[in-house]
């Protein structure tokens, strides 16, 4: 199967979480509190796509199949896409697009601060994901895009602190285990160990 | 000639009227069984937890203590619940509360009272005239509903047991039976769930001992067979499936303030000016079928019940006693 066809399939699959929300909404199945449901769903998908994006390079050196990295950009942009929806729904439906109200929340509440910083950095990465920016930034591009590791950690803290009030950490721990493994695998020493 | 079997005594023969009554009973039982089976099929899971006790409660609307806001639908009230004894997700209680056994049920009232006692649920329900109260319910998480409850003021029960002068607080203890409540496996909260009020709060006429909603016996996921509803406080103060009420002289330990003291205080009065550490409490999502695009509404101090309860907190620093 050629890579372009696989990419198209992945693209369609990556839209399923969004289509699902529309279908649930159409049939009135977004629970009694749709805003919370949509916010949480898009948040969970953001961190899922972040994990998938981070998984591509390790998969390349583990399986030896070089094509994995060709999905990295698309998955990263989908990660940003769901983060954008997550932020927009929260800003629009939860804060009635009131900028002061929104920024106050960002400043006052550490868990939102973490999510917001992660989103701002992610926006920079999304803006510079094209060929022109890549050529323009040169060596700096790679440095800039290493910030995805920081985004992963900020995203986890955001999620963890959000769940802290109810001590409901089961799912957070799963994502933390995945993301930390994907980060540890990148350490040159660990990488060498796996290769041998 | 009439044959007579001497081994059959006349007392062994079932009189005709009783015999026929038995037939009738069998028919009713069979029909009822089939009907119950069919209704499960047609209504599906969402209502399965309620169908076996969908009994009507006759009650009279108490207008003085009812709000005129648009009601939240029965479906939303019974399918979006925080009742961690049956799981952490909002949909869990509707799914898993079927296993709760609500009859027989007793509630014991003890502690600093003249006449402690154990009340059977069915006789307790007859203690005073059942009223309908349309209350706002504001969850600490930032959403709210408008619910027509059925019950009577808790004060009727408290008066019956005659609190001693030394009693200052009331403690509510919910059922904690791992056989009936799958959520008890979770360590999120210490079990049993405990809540409490100051005695004057408990005697406030708004504090409702609640047995039903929408004119029917409480669905299991909403805290059957008996709970309290304290409409000017965040929802978690309104303990569900209560088995014990204790009057004490010391402020009782309450579940949520035990696990996260900074986030949930003993009073937990609805207050837009006191933020939860992780979100503002100044606004709320009203769940009443409105479009998701409609803006949030302002949260009112004491959930709008200030005229009835503000006097309870006169002179108190509500920032400190949150």
Q: Is B291 on the interface with A (CB under 8 A)?
A: no
Residues B123 and B32 in one domain: no
Q: Is B88 on the interface with A (CB under 8 A)?
A: yes
Most confident of A18-32, A64-78, B167-181, B282-296: B167-181
Nearest CB to A96 within list B143, B278, B296: B296
* Residue A25 scores a pLDDT above 50: yes
Q: What is the pLDDT, as a whole number, of residue B34?
A: 44
Q: How far apart are CA B263 and CA A67, in angstroms?
A: 49
Nearest CB to A32 within list B80, B259, B275: B80
Q: How far apart are CA B222 and CA B240, in angstroms?
A: 7
Q: For residue B17, what pLDDT band results from cuts at 50, 70 and 90?
A: low
pLDDT, tens digit, 9 for 90 and up, residues B226-275? 999 999 999 999 999 999 999 999 999 999 998 888 889 999 999 999 98
Q: For residue B1, what pLDDT band results from cuts at 50, 70 and 90?
A: low
Q: Regarding predicted confidence, which is higher, B33 or A1? A: A1
Q: Is B71 on the interface with A (CB under 8 A)?
A: no
CATH number, residue B234: 3.90.420.10
> Mean pLDDT across the stretch A173-188?
95
> Mean pLDDT across the stretch A81-90?
97
Q: What is the pLDDT, as a whole number, of residue B4?
A: 56
- Residue B33's domain comprises 11-41
Q: What is the pLDDT, as a whole number, of residue B182?
A: 95
Token digits for B52?
């076996």
> Mean pLDDT across the stretch B180-187?
92
Q: What is the pLDDT, as a whole number, of residue B36?
A: 44
Residues in chain A closer than 8 A to B263 (CB atoms): 165
Q: Is the backbone of residue B291 left (phi > 0), alpha (psi -120 to 50) or beta?
A: beta
The owner of tokens 């504001």 is B138
> Mean pLDDT across the stretch B24-46?
45
Q: For residue B32, what pLDDT band results from cuts at 50, 70 and 90?
A: very low
* Residue B30 scores a pLDDT above 50: no
Q: Is A161 on the interface with B (CB under 8 A)?
A: yes
Classify residue B31 as exposed, middle or buried by CB count within 10 Å of its CB (0-12, 13-18, 19+).
exposed
Mean pLDDT rounded to a whole number for chain B: 87
| B49 part of a folded domain | no
ipTM: 0.74
The CA R_g of chain B, rounded to the nearest whole Å, is 23
* Residue B37 scores a pLDDT above 80: no
| B320 part of a folded domain | no
* Residue B26 scores a pLDDT above 70: no
Q: How far apart are CA B236 and CA B320, in angstroms?
A: 19
Q: What is the pLDDT, as a whole number, of residue B33?
A: 46
The torsion angles phi and psi of B173, rounded to 5 degrees, stand at -120, 125
Q: For residue B24, what pLDDT band results from cuts at 50, 70 and 90?
A: low
Cross-chain residue pair B80–A168, CB shorter than 8 Å: no
Report the residue count for chain B: 322
pLDDT, tens digit, 9 for 90 and up, residues B63-82? 999 999 999 999 999 999 99
Q: How far apart are CA A78 and CA B201, in angstroms?
A: 52
Lowest mean pLDDT among B27-36, B38-47, B70-79, B83-92: B38-47
Q: Regarding predicted confidence, which is higher, A169 or A148? A: A148
Q: How far apart are CA B103 and CA B120, in angstroms?
A: 9
Percentage above 70 pLDDT, chain B:
83
Residues in chain A closer than 8 A to B293 (CB atoms): 93
Tell how strand B169-174 and strand B242-248 pair up: antiparallel
Residues B32 and B72 in one domain: no
Residues B35 and B73 in one domain: no
Residues B36 and B159 in one domain: no
Residues B135 and B21 in one domain: no
Q: Regarding predicted confidence, which is higher, B54 or A184? A: A184
Q: Which residues between 188 and 207 in chain B have a beta carbon less than 8 angstroms from any beta carbon of chain A? A: 188
Residues B34 and B99 in one domain: no
Q: Is B253 on the interface with A (CB under 8 A)?
A: no
Residues B175 and B93 in one domain: yes
Q: What is the pLDDT, as a whole number, of residue B50?
A: 44
Cross-chain residue pair B278–A33, CB shorter than 8 Å: no
> Mean pLDDT across the stretch B189-200?
96
Most confident of A140-149, B53-62, B226-235: B226-235
Q: Is A33 on the interface with B (CB under 8 A)?
A: yes
Residues in chain B closer than 8 A to A32 (CB atoms): 72, 75-76, 79-80, 90, 143, 145, 287
| B2 part of a folded domain | no
* Residue A84 scores a pLDDT above 90: yes
* Residue B49 scores a pLDDT above 80: no
Q: What is the pLDDT, as a whole number, of residue B12?
A: 56
| B111 part of a folded domain | yes
| B5 part of a folded domain | no
Q: What is the pLDDT, as a whole number, of residue B115?
A: 96
The torsion angles phi and psi of B217, rounded to 5 degrees, stand at -50, 140
Q: What is the pLDDT, as a whole number, of residue A164?
A: 82
Q: Which residue of B has its CA nearest to A113?
A: B278
pLDDT, tens digit, 9 for 90 and up, residues B99-114? 999 999 999 999 999 9
- Count contacts between A and B (CB, < 8 Å): 57
* Residue B45 scores a pLDDT above 60: no
Report the residue count for chain A: 196
Percentage above 90 pLDDT, chain A:
68
Token digits for A185?
């695998």
Q: What is the pLDDT, as a whole number, of residue B43?
A: 40
Q: Is B293 on the interface with A (CB under 8 A)?
A: yes
pLDDT, tens digit, 9 for 90 and up, residues A89-123? 999 988 889 999 899 989 988 999 999 999 999 99
The owner of tokens 């006052």 is A108
Q: What is the pLDDT, as a whole number, of residue B143?
A: 94
Cross-chain residue pair B259–A167, CB shorter than 8 Å: yes
Please name which of B256, B110, B111, B243 lies closest in space to residue B173, comparing C-alpha atoms. B243
pLDDT, tens digit, 9 for 90 and up, residues A170-179? 899 999 999 9
Residues B29 and B152 in one domain: no
Residues B141 and B289 in one domain: yes
pLDDT, tens digit, 9 for 90 and up, residues B215-236? 999 999 999 999 999 999 999 9
Q: Is A34 on the interface with B (CB under 8 A)?
A: yes
- Residue A196 DSSP class: -
Residues B28 and B83 in one domain: no
Q: How far apart are CA A164 and CA A99, in angstroms?
A: 26
Token digits for A58?
């390790």
Strand ranges for chain B from DSSP E: 60-61, 106-111, 117-120, 131-138, 143-153, 169-174, 194-198, 208-213, 216-217, 227-229, 242-248, 283-286, 297-298
Q: Is B277 on the interface with A (CB under 8 A)?
A: yes
> Structural domain tally of chain A?
1
Q: Is A100 on the interface with B (CB under 8 A)?
A: no
pLDDT, tens digit, 9 for 90 and up, residues B127-176? 999 999 999 999 999 999 999 999 999 999 999 999 999 999 999 999 99
Nearest CB to B280 within list A36, A105, A168: A105
Q: What is the pLDDT, as a whole number, of residue B5?
A: 58
Residues B34 and B121 in one domain: no
> Mean pLDDT across the stretch A156-170?
87
- Residue A150's domain comprises 3-195
> Structural domain tally of chain B?
2
């Amino acid at each position: 199967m050629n890579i372009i066809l696989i990419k198209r399939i992945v693209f369609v699959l990556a839209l399923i979480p969004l289509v699902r929300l529309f279908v649930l909404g159409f049939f009135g199945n977004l629970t009694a509190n749709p805003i919370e449901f949509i916010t949480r769903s898009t948040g969970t998908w953001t961190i899922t796509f972040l994990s998938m994006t981070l998984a591509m390079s390790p998969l390349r050196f583990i399986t030896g199949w070089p094509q994995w990295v060709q999905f990295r950009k698309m998955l990263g942009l989908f990660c940003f896409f769901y983060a954008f929806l997550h932020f927009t729904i929260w800003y629009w439906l939860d804060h009635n697009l009131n900028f002061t109200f929104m920024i106050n929340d960002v400043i006052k509440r550490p868990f939102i601060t973490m999510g917001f910083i992660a989103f701002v950095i992610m926006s920079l990465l999304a803006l510079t994901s094209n060929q022109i920016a890549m050529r323009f930034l040169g060596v700096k591009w790679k440095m800039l895009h290493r910030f995805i590791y920081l985004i992963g950690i900020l995203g986890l803290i955001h999620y963890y602190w959000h769940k802290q009030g109810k001590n409901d950490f089961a799912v957070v721990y799963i994502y933390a285990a995945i993301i930390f493994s994907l980060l540890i695998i990148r350490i040159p020493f660990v990488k060498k160990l796996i290769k041998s | 000639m009439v044959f007579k079997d001497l081994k059959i005594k006349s007392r062994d023969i079932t009189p005709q009227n009783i015999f026929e009554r038995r037939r009738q009973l069998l028919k009713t039982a069979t029909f009822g069984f089939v009907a119950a089976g069919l209704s499960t099929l047609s209504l599906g899971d969402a209502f399965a937890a309620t169908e076996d006790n969908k009994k009507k409660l006759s009650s009279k609307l108490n207008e003085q203590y009812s709000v005129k806001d648009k009601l939240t639908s029965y479906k939303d009230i019974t399918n979006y619940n925080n009742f961690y004894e049956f799981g952490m997700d909002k949909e869990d209680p509707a799914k898993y509360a079927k296993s709760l056994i609500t009859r027989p049920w007793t509630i014991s009232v003890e502690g600093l009272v003249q006449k402690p006692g154990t009340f059977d649920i069915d006789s307790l329900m007859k203690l005073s005239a059942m009223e309908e109260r349309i209350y706002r319910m504001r969850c600490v998480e930032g959403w709210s509903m408008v619910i027509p409850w059925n019950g009577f003021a808790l004060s009727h029960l408290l008066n019956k047991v005659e609190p001693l002068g030394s009693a200052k607080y009331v403690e509510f203890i919910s059922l904690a039976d791992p056989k009936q409540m799958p959520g008890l496996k979770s360590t999120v909260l210490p079990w049993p769930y405990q809540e409490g009020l100051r005695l004057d709060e408990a005697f406030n006429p708004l504090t409702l001992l609640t047995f039903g909603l929408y004119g029917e016996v409480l669905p299991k996921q909403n805290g059957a067979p008996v709970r309290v509803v304290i409409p000017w406080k965040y929802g978690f103060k309104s303990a569900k499936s209560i088995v014990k009420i204790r009057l004490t002289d010391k402020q009782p330990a309450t579940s949520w303030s035990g696990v996260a003291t900074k986030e949930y205080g003993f009073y937990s009065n609805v207050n837009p000016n006191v933020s939860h550490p992780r979100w503002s409490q100044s606004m709320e999502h009203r769940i009443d079928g409105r479009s998701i695009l409609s803006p949030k509404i302002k949260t009112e101090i004491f959930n709008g019940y200030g005229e009835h309860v503000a006097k309870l907190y006169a002179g108190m620093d509500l920032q400190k006693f949150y």
